[in-house]
Structure 1
Amino acid sequence: MTKPILPGEVAAAVVDPVAYGEWDGLHQQLAWARVNAPLAVAENPDHDPFWLVTRHADIMAISRDPQRFANGIRPTVLTNRDGEALARAATPNNDGHLIRSLVQMDAPDHMKYRLLTQSWFMPKNLKIVEDRVRHLARATVDAMLADDGGETDFARDVAAHYPLRVIMDILGVPPEDEPRMLMLTQQLFGSTDPELNRNKVEITSAEQAIAMLHYVIADFENYFRELTADRRSNPREDIATVIANAMVGGEQIPDRELAGYYMIVATAGHDTTSASTAGAIMELAKNPALFERFRSAESDKAGLIEEAIRWTTPVQHFMRSAKEDVEIGGQTVRAGDWLMLNYVSANRDEEIFADPFAFDPDREKNQQLAFGFGAHVCLGQHLARMEMRILMEELLPRLKSLELAGEPARVESVFVGGLKRLPIRFEAA
């Protein structure tokens, strides 16, 4: 059977950071693909061909089948041909993973490492830190409302800092190091955005991109090497102590996996929540009726939060590699094929979401896939929901009005996206 090939404009859009920053045009291309070529091959000059998976059902099927769709064989984030070759040359065993975290692991390693911290992020244990999270949320709101001008860039000055403070508190990073963690996270996830990457330049070559990422990762590794030494000598009640002293197979975690563990908790633990939080506030600022409804202290915020997560879809894709020939979505995927699970598309799938391009907190069953699904579902999903709920409970009742004060702007990134600017105008209640 001949593989279906995507039109050039669709294939180009899904690998273009600028398209994800502009957002609307990307959605038009993905909507076309869902109807006309829901599982088809994207061919671009600088990338190896890959299957673009656009439908919710197909992404679910692949995600629940880690035995046949692997994370560790090729990069788990879209990488161009030259970038992958450079990464393979620079990594142990030529595996091409500049970072080896839970995201890059398959069985049996994945579950062994996941279980080291999984209990920390379960709802029952999160109740222990809820008061600390509320204290941080209240301090965040106090700082925002202390501005007599009544205007702020919510994405930059509020949403970027609150989840950062929460995860750093749980991880065990002191407050004075939070700016460094924020900067390094933005440099890592925003490496293709000239406003956010390390050198504040447009990326023009794989060599340039890999070199910048190497420096960012080295900074992370150096920081967490010192933190590990401290927690092995002075253990505390934090996740850093768990990671630093964890044993896998009767031995301490190797340095590479140790650094990867810290990085996935430190970065994914706040950047994605920041994006969803800003997305919720943007929609409330656009819709006075929704704002009035949710500013009530009695209003249930669960639907608002789940819809904001779907609407924003901070983690925009992950890649998988087929380990054997598989029939899926009416197509034959061959062993060795590379696939992009496009969560942006899945979260606008007309087969799953009624009126998917409307922001609707009243969806009866919101089956958003922004946290992934299956064995690799986001470890921190319950923490993210709790953080967002508590911030909305603390912030919205203290506002009398909320509106946009300028044009929002999204990060130019194929991997992790969201708002990098959200100017708002508000009046305290």
Structure 2
Amino acid sequence: MRDLADPGLFEAGGQYEAWRWWREHDPVHRHERGFWSVTRYADVDRVLRDHPSFAGERGTSPGHADPAAGREPAATGPTGPDRARAALRKVMGMRPAGSYEPSLIAAITGLLAPGLDEQSFDLAAAVRGLPLALAGPLLGLPRADWPYLSGLAMAAGAEDDPGHRIGDAAPGTPRRAHRELSAYFLPLVRERARTPGEDLVSLMVSDAGGRMDPETAVAGCRDLLLGASVTLPDAASSTVYELARTGSYRAWADRPDLLRTGVEEALRWASPGSHFMRHTTRPVRLSGVDVPAGEPVVAWIGSANRDAAVFPDPDAFDPERTPNRHLAFGDEPYHCAGSHLARLTLRLFFATLFATFADVAVAAEPVRVRSTFLTGFKELIISGTPRRGR
């Protein structure tokens, strides 16, 4: 089974073999659902970079109506949303990333605490707390609201998984999740405009931050939360599973000098957010295949990041891998505005994990998310060996 539009393929972990087959045999092909599927690194990179030929304003997700179409900064091209992305980058650069470290370390320590009694615990459930550990203090969100927001963020990206749906039908889940997130953030933005605090939302609506209009600020808040919710849990859980499965945890845990290169490898390996969709604005040729204008093109980032033409031994996790020009955060002009904070969070997560546990083991058969977009786990039961002296 090689149908890349089938969430069951991803739920079974079969996407890697399917991507390999498509890269080797038919790297650019038209799916029966009406979109073009692109699997090689060079082609995926072009789809993400070449905005004049590939536009994102008409939606970024195949098979479902995309509520981010023309709205979310991370999902569209250099038009209005791109100006929002530039404003968001400016605001995020107004404070040093290191200022967030103490709260992140404290939150990560708390997420890993259930494993300190040498009992098994659900790492997948624990790392679902990472996005709000970052976005909560960053945006000044009340801690009591974190579980609600976390649920909406998962629903926005995993509508095919019954455990994350809102209501009974999959197609309406992302739209409803986006609508509820907007309804949550709009009063918050207006409140910060009246009574500024020390958070990023207050900067967004301040003179120093360019005084974003409410709609742009709300889109920025959604973009940050959803980006963190896609990247952080999946990169963490997928990597820990691979380290435990292959018995290579200690090899990286005992090498703190490899933390930065290892995090880049975790992003390549997991490729959270496995695809983006663009629409051709003119006829283009990819790997010798002519694609007409006006066609949806799905760029499989997860496949590009396993392309042996770019990454030697691509199915091996190598924390020393360099160079490592993965596409986990997309590419310009679509590069994730919060990528530096995601990298910081993952470095702190793995540093804290390695300082907490000398080794980890998988304690039960894991359960993957049923989604063609998200690549992580719904349940990953692990047991850890606490380091002496903790």
TM-score normalised by L of structure 2: 0.91
Q: Deviations over 1:55-92 (max 9, x none)?
A: 001111222211221001x2211125xxx4xx7xxxxx
Q: d(CA) in 1 for partners of 2:241 and 2:136?
A: 25
1:76 equivalent in structure 2: 60
1:218 equivalent in structure 2: 179
Deviation at 1:317, TM superposition (A): 0.6
2:376 equivalent in structure 1: 418
2:316 is the alignment partner of 1:316 = no
1:134 equivalent in structure 2: 105
Greater Cα offset, 208-217 or 172-181: 208-217
2:260 is the alignment partner of 1:302 = yes
2:89 to 110, 118, 134: 118
1:234-383 alignment runs, 5 A limit: 234-244=195-205, 253=213, 255=215, 257-288=216-247, 290-296=248-254, 298-383=256-341
Question: Relative to 1, partners in 2 of residues 1:320 and 1:194: Cα closer, same or farther, differing over 3 Å?
Answer: same
TM-score normalised by L of structure 1: 0.83
Q: Which amino acid aligns with 1:155?
A: A
1:109 equivalent in structure 2: 80
Q: Which amino acid aligns with 2:77?
A: D
Deviation at 1:104, TM superposition (A): 4.1
Q: Which amino acid aligns with 2:90?
A: S
What is the root-mean-square deviation of aligned Cα atoms in Å?
2.5
Q: d(CA) in 2 for partners of 1:124 and 1:261?
A: 16
1:179 equivalent in structure 2: 147
2:50 is the alignment partner of 1:65 = yes
* Aligned partners of 2:283 and 2:293 also within 8 Å: yes
2:189 is the alignment partner of 1:228 = yes
Deviation at 1:301, TM superposition (A): 1.3
Q: d(CA) in 2 for partners of 1:124 and 1:305?
A: 23
* Aligned partners of 2:369 and 2:376 also within 8 Å: yes
Q: d(CA) in 1 for partners of 2:364 and 2:196?
A: 47
Question: Relative to 1, partners in 2 of residues 1:67 and 1:283: Cα closer, same or farther, differing over 3 Å?
Answer: same
Q: Which amino acid aligns with 1:224?
A: F
In our comparison, the structure showing a higher alpha carbon Rg is: 1
Deviation at 1:113, TM superposition (A): 0.6
Deviation at 1:54, TM superposition (A): 0.5
* Aligned partners of 2:7 and 2:370 also within 8 Å: yes
* Aligned partners of 2:56 and 2:278 also within 8 Å: yes
Q: Deviations over 1:22-42 (max 9, x none)?
A: 122x22222121112111211
Q: d(CA) in 1 for partners of 2:371 and 2:207?
A: 34
* Aligned partners of 1:348 and 1:356 also within 8 Å: yes
Q: d(CA) in 2 for partners of 1:231 and 1:357?
A: 47
What stretches of structure 1 of length at least 5 have no aligned partner? Answer: 1-8, 88-95, 202-207
Deviation at 1:99, TM superposition (A): 7.5
Question: Relative to 1, partners in 2 of residues 1:306 and 1:268: Cα closer, same or farther, differing over 3 Å?
Answer: same
1:40 equivalent in structure 2: 29
Deviation at 1:98, TM superposition (A): 6.4
* Aligned partners of 2:189 and 2:205 also within 8 Å: yes
2:170 equivalent in structure 1: 209
